[in-house]
Structure 1
Amino acid sequence: MKNKNWLKLASIYIGTVIGAGFASGQEIMQFFIVFGYKGLFGIILATFLFSILGSSVLLNVYRNKIDGYEKFLTPIFGKSLGKITEIIIIIFLLAGYCVMLAGSGAIFKEQFNISYNIGIYLMALVTLITFLFNIKGLSTVNTILVPILLLGVILTGGISILKNGFQISNFSGGEIAKTSHWIISSILYVSYNSITTVVIMSSLLPIISDKKTALKGGIFGGLGLGVLALFIGVPLLGYTTDINGLEVPMLKIAENLGNNGSLLYGIILWGAMFTTALSNGFGFIKRISSLLKVNQPIFSIIFCISAIPIARIGFTKLIITIYPLFGYLGFIIFVFIVGRFFIKEFKNYIKKIK
């Protein structure tokens, strides 16, 4: 039987990145579609960068037998700066998990007309069950859910394109603020997602069987993210007027699926939140339980229960407060990782030709 671990790696990578902002269309709108058709070039560039980021991190993990993100960051930043960076990342992981719990509550209330608290409790429960199975649970859930999410997004975007044709944009009035070039925006978007990528990829050594597996996992994970972004971005280009100001633009696109389109996409969005909550929560639990030398399953229970009060602060408030700060940190990490990767590969190449 052929080694399929690269598929597990790619699925975990996609599941880590495709959270509420991605699947809702909000991130794709703000980072790419605000630039019109040039945003599609931005998505293509981001796809390439995601593949480089994923493969370079996984290859580094395999070569140096890294089993935690702290061991990945220390050689890059040094001990002192590495510790500061780790503290910030720990806070980010906790906040990211709470944001996904809050997002689950918002979806249950707005899309399913069910209590906000029930949405939070359910997300906390299903993530806890997964955490109890450690890496195997994380791998299994992502391997099952990510293909479903891919199919759901491609189906939604594809039907919209077939029904309405390929439109560059129908935006004619008002303004969507954009503060940078599409190339810069594309780089920032990948950087913004680099924190959770490093954290989760650094924990996947047990399923990285060889160098080829590491490279394929990163490359195909990046390509999968690119496909998802295109099937979200292209339909959004034709609906710019209709979606301007909406918090979940893809729900408007999902109306092309019929009367229950928005409801079906609400389920897809919840699934995307679930995979991201797993990534953030798993990274936090693994590191803190190791630092405190406590039983990981017991700490998982404590963590999930403790996150519920924070999640009640609200989805939008948490995003506005937390995400901008970590975008800058992510950019620094991204530059260091990719820079070191190319420098190391160049040195290896020089040694071979001498």
Structure 2
Amino acid sequence: MIVQVLRVALAFVGIIVGAGFASGQEVMQYFVGFGINGLWGVVLSAVVMTVMAMIILQLGSYFQAAEHGEVFDRVSHPIFSRVLDLGVIVTLFSTGFVMFAGAGANLNQQWGLPTWVGALLMVALVLASGLLDVNKVTNVIGAITPFIIFFLTVASLYVIFFTDHVSFADLDVSAQAVGSPLPHWAVAAVNYVGFNLMVAVSMAIVIGGAMFHPRLAGYGGLLGGLLYSFLLVISAVTLFLAVQTVGDDDMPMLTLVGDIHPWLGQVMAVVVFGMIFNTALGMFYALAKRISAWWGGRFFLIYSITVLVGFVLSFLGFKNLVGYVYPVLGYIGLLLIAVMLVAWFRARGRINDESARRVRIEQLWRRGREVEIIEEVKASNLDVTDVRQAMED
């Protein structure tokens, strides 16, 4: 049970912590650019994200969803469902090609390689990984996450304890000079959660749908939200304290780690590249799952086409994409937050009952008591075929 929860939590963090976050560029534009007030925005974002991570993964498990449209259709009005569906599809594709741009910027800053080299390498890795099933994709995404947790913690400790600091007033002025594409820190905080949920919701539903027990999926989401909140807090504090040094960099967190020791900078560049890969894989995998559900299969063909088109669009530039694409998607994410919150509160009683029922079904399955299983399934929101497939998996 603990292994399942941890695997899901790390995978959830891995989906969100892509180029923008791991590099520090997202946090710089959404929070640090507002100065000290931006830190209050971090707290607000952390709380909302933790709650929403639990809700989304639990709903995915409850409906045993293979793609996000199955959940949207069941929990919202058809109009809202269509708006969210299209919004998520645009988000998946947009974020996917932003990741390719981030891969190019990462290798360019660290080793001076042309941006197309990093982007092309990322395309090759993402295409190869599209041949894996969802459980293997989840494991791949989760495996890289502990490394970024370690490096962000190291960078934070270094900046806090081993660098010279000016006054908070001077830092506040320098941070506000960086600026933000959002009008107010509170708007930025909610917009940031909205955007990240638009990024995460599709793959998170797929991951949750692969878990038979909604309660465990919810615990995984809760832990994933807490881990992400920890990373967000230490990243924002670190970049605020170092804003006079790294405020203008495309990859500010990479610069900080490189300042500790050149070899750590080399390793951090690889880790950031890995986190970019995580998000790119999650985005294009979930996107192809959704589109192939419309067209009756052809998953890998659709997957390959969207990846290659995304590679072409990635040459618009990483920093510009983060500054202009992300906020627009974040506003659409506000609708997602509202719909999923209302759906979960309405269904929480049924979800709790179903969680207990599925525990009984699994116990009966292990004992081979099929007659009793059929009786339990009659009261379930799943049919016999769904249960049989889940038990065999």
- For 1:13 and 1:168, the matched residues in 2 are separated by 37
Instruction: Pick which of 154-163 and 310-319 moved more.
Output: 310-319
1:92 aligns with 2:91: yes
Could you tell me which residue of structure 2 aligns to residue 328 of structure 1?
331
Larger radius of gyration: 2
The alpha carbon displacement at 1:286 in A equals 0.8
Matched to 1:283, the amino acid is: A
Mark the CA change 1:75 to 1:158 in structure 2 (over 3 Å): closer, same or farther. same
State the aligned residue count. 348
1:335-354 correspondence runs (5 A): 335-345=338-348
Match of 1:272 among 262, 270, 275: 275
- TM normalised by structure 2 equals 0.79
- For 1:322 and 1:233, the matched residues in 2 are separated by 21
The alpha carbon displacement at 1:320 in A equals 4.4
The alpha carbon displacement at 1:166 in A equals 8.1
Matched to 2:136, the amino acid is: G
Mark the CA change 1:38 to 1:339 in structure 2 (over 3 Å): closer, same or farther. farther
Could you tell me which residue of structure 2 aligns to residue 140 of structure 1?
139
Mark the CA change 1:54 to 1:192 in structure 2 (over 3 Å): closer, same or farther. same
Give 5+ residue unaligned stretches, structure 2.
353-393
Could you tell me which residue of structure 2 aligns to residue 114 of structure 1?
113
Instruction: Pick which of 260-269 and 208-217 moved more.
Output: 260-269
Secondary structure of residue in 2 paired with 1:89: helix
Could you tell me which residue of structure 2 aligns to residue 44 of structure 1?
43
- For 2:58 and 2:350, the matched residues in 1 are separated by 16
- For 2:221 and 2:76, the matched residues in 1 are separated by 23
- TM normalised by structure 1 equals 0.87
Mark the CA change 1:173 to 1:94 in structure 2 (over 3 Å): closer, same or farther. closer
1:1-354 correspondence runs (5 A): 2-164=1-163, 169=168, 170-171=170-171, 173=173, 175-176=176-177, 177=179, 182-345=185-348
The answer (yes or no) to whether the contact 2:191–2:327 under 8 Å persists in 1 is no
The answer (yes or no) to whether the contact 1:167–1:237 under 8 Å persists in 2 is no
The answer (yes or no) to whether the contact 1:5–1:209 under 8 Å persists in 2 is no
Instruction: Pick which of 131-140 and 213-222 moved more.
Output: 131-140
Matched to 2:143, the amino acid is: I
The alpha carbon displacement at 1:42 in A equals 3.0
The alpha carbon displacement at 1:206 in A equals 4.9
Mark the CA change 1:316 to 1:46 in structure 2 (over 3 Å): closer, same or farther. closer
The alpha carbon displacement at 1:150 in A equals 1.2
- For 1:33 and 1:313, the matched residues in 2 are separated by 24
The alpha carbon displacement at 1:98 in A equals 1.2
Mark the CA change 1:244 to 1:207 in structure 2 (over 3 Å): closer, same or farther. same
The alpha carbon displacement at 1:70 in A equals 0.7
Matched to 1:160, the amino acid is: V
The alpha carbon displacement at 1:50 in A equals 1.3
Once the two structures are superposed, residues 128-172 of structure 1 have per-residue CA deviations (whole angstroms, 9 ceiling, x without a partner) of 222110212321212210111211221222222231388773426
Secondary structure of residue in 2 paired with 1:160: helix
Once the two structures are superposed, residues 295-322 of structure 1 have per-residue CA deviations (whole angstroms, 9 ceiling, x without a partner) of 3234333333343222234334444453
Give 5+ residue unaligned stretches, structure 1.
350-354
Matched to 1:171, the amino acid is: L
- For 2:164 and 2:336, the matched residues in 1 are separated by 40
- For 1:30 and 1:288, the matched residues in 2 are separated by 32
The answer (yes or no) to whether the contact 1:19–1:273 under 8 Å persists in 2 is yes
The alpha carbon displacement at 1:225 in A equals 0.7
- For 1:303 and 1:325, the matched residues in 2 are separated by 21
- For 1:292 and 1:168, the matched residues in 2 are separated by 59
- For 2:29 and 2:319, the matched residues in 1 are separated by 16
Mark the CA change 1:39 to 1:298 in structure 2 (over 3 Å): closer, same or farther. same
Secondary structure of residue in 1 paired with 2:66: coil
Could you tell me which residue of structure 2 aligns to residue 352 of structure 1?
none
Secondary structure of residue in 1 paired with 2:262: coil
